[in-house]
Chain A
Amino acid sequence: MGLEAFIAERKQDKDLLVMAHVVCGYPSFEENMQELEIMAEAGVDLVELQFPFSEPSADGPLFVRANEQSLKAGTTVDQCFDFMKLVSERFPFKVLMMGYYNTVFKMGEDVFVQRLKDAGGVGYILPDLPVEESANLHQLSADVGVEPIILMTPTSSDKRLAQLGAASRGMVYVVARKGVTGSKTNMGDDVVALIDRCRQHTDVPMGVGFGITSKADMDFLRGTADLAIVGTAALKTWEESGADGLRRFFAELLA
């Protein structure tokens, strides 16, 4: 099943889905697995597995350190794909690759989409790959049946949104505010207006990310967005209060 159909199916039972995030190999693959078990129990619908990169320039401090520590511990692309395969077979949620374009470029775009497909991934998010540079990768993705997740942002003009909308498949990642991952966003009218603007240019589901930390944020997005994307807040919780904390975090978020 493709990403869009999966989201539609899940949305029959709930009005706001959740996409979570782990950085592969940080703190360790064992702990990643524990985190994912908790996420699955809580009913998370999608998970981004971030392949660590040495120059994660779109990430905030917490993920920057996570990328760095994971690489220091020796995490490789092979391990990330192996882990993805394990995870996609074991859990009911769908899995996406998140990372930076150089990881894809170095292995070759054709190899990447095939390996992603083989590992059970349904799509990928590459924040430093603009749509102008994506034509070949998008074609290859369509050929094997994985989805490129396009990002739409508060600084995108209507003309740009039209361009992005035309390229969007599976779902769109709406960046709720300027900046990098991991700081608080004030969910307000401008986020609603942004999602409305994005919807004018594509029919695929809208995930909203950057700064989602609480049930209040979830309540705010309900009826507006299709998915809430939770990244830094979950990792922060894991680091501060471990498995019990993370269980409580998702229980509260999804209450």
Chain B
Amino acid sequence: MDIFDFSDGREGYYGEYGGVFLPEILHATIEELIECFRECKADPKFWQDYVSLLQNYSGRPTPVTYLENLSRELGGAQIYVKRDDLNHTGSHKVNNVMGQGLLTQRLGKTRVIAETGAGQHGFATATMAAKFGFECKIYMGAVDVARQRPNVFWMENLGAEVIAVEDGQKTLKDAVNECMRDWVTNMADTHYILGTACGPHPFPEMVSWFQSIIGLEAREQIVAQTGRLPNRVYACVGGGSNAMGLFQGFFDEPNVELIGCEAGGEGVGSYMHSARLAYDDASVGVAQGYKTYFLQNDEGNMSETHSVAAGLDYIGVNPIFAHLHDQGKVRFEAATDAEVKETLKLTMRTEGLIPALESTHGFVVALKEAATMAKDEIVLVNMSGRGDKDIFTIADALDDAKWKSFIGGKADQYRAEKK
């Protein structure tokens, strides 16, 4: 199936979801972007340049790793992991960012802006901007700036300006709004590097296209290693870009089940989560430039969301998934904060892997289900990011006493130096 073939319907729509809902002032900018993207997509050389950039700069192709210990311990399906954590900057975000960097060059623009939640997309964008020589401004909710200082530190040292957004909930969605405000002012020289497969067309398609490299590689690798396709494929879903990336390798396979794993936060009925499709709390709406399922109230004002993983803590989900969910082509499950913490410990101790809290959501569901599957079945999980660079967040999540005392000591030292 080609979900990006719009010849039978409205361009940028996936079923009833997607579209472009932006202020009129951006109409010309979006048209320009769509046109440029169409050219890039039709140009084989663009894709070659993109792949070779990622090979030389980010270490692609990332491997697929067999989790022998965990498979044995659970006694069910054989578990394989796609290692996008091994990318430069530590997550799959760099794929999209490098692609959009090449596209920004083609647009002839010299300045980039980006929103970031956990900071991984901001970090990747700041890295790309440094490499390409773009001026770079990153918008980040003030709450996220406070909880992700290490990422802010790197962004600033890479030459980006980081703006702490003080509006709304001061998290990812508010950073998106602030990017829109910058873009309506500075579109002449500025490209907005949207970080996930959400937002107005062409972003869902464009980000999915760049991330499809994950699925292209993974399919080849798993077949080479096991001689067959996996039975089930898992990935965490915030906006949904890493999952779209991996799933695109298997969309045409009727016998491969695709499972998107959302942030269940404090669980069903808690209203403290970010599960748009796995739980029943979200409804269709229009915000941030597109139509999809949002966590919102009856009057269309957005609800507070929560997740231990800042990168999944978002009100909306990519419109392609909203459509595939309706059609039953992708199943959605949620992992709670508590499950994520337990699974992270298990994965570290059993396999020596430290997935990001975001990616661990995929592991929770995959491991739970693998345990109930037959030994000759195969599951593939996307490890979209690595957790070691999020040491502050993970140490907090694991409530590590020794870490706390270390930080306390550091704080005392800085205070003494100040005096």
Contacts and interface: CB of A to CB of B under 8 A. Distances in A.
Contacts of A68: 167-168
Contact of B28 (A55, A58, A156): A156
A130 B298 CA distance: 23
B27 interface: yes
A180 B182 CA distance: 8
Instruction: Tell me if B's interface is mostly helix, strand, loop or mixed.
Output: mixed
B127 to A, nearest CB: 27
A160 interface: yes
A65 B296 CA distance: 19
Contact of B302 (A55, A61, A178): A55
Interface stretch (A101-109, A139-147, A211-219): A101-109
Interface stretch (B83-91, B285-293, B341-349): B285-293
Given A101-B21, A127-B23, A153-B25, A57 B286 contact: no
Interface stretch (B148-156, B173-181, B265-273): B173-181
A103 to B, nearest CB: 5
Nearest to B173: A55
Contacts of A178: 25, 184-187
Contact of B24 (A61, A76, A127): A127
Q: Chain A: interface residue count, which band?
A: 35 or more
Given A179-B184, A179-B185, A151 B300 contact: no
A128 B21 contact: yes
A55 B288 CA distance: 7
A123 B197 CA distance: 35
Interface in A119-177: 127-130, 132-133, 150-157, 160, 164, 175
Contact of B185 (A105, A129, A180): A180
B246 to A, nearest CB: 29
B299 A175 contact: no
A54 interface: yes
Residue of A101, A106, A156, A178 with most chain B CB atoms under a 10 A cut-off: A106
Contact of B23 (A58, A60, A76): A58
B188 to A, nearest CB: 8
Interface string B290-328: 000000101111100000000000000000000000000
Contacts of A52: 301
Nearest to A65: B167
Contact of B300 (A56, A64, A105, A164): A105
8 closest Cβ pairs, A-B complex = A106-B300, A102-B300, A179-B185, A54-B301, A153-B25, A57-B180, A57-B177, A54-B302
27 contacts: A53-B301, A54-B302, A55-B302, A57-B180, A57-B289, A58-B23, A58-B184, A61-B167, A77-B299, A101-B286, A102-B300, A103-B299, A105-B286, A106-B285, A107-B299, A128-B289, A130-B20, A130-B24, A133-B19, A153-B24, A155-B27, A157-B28, A160-B28, A175-B25, A178-B186, A179-B181, A179-B185
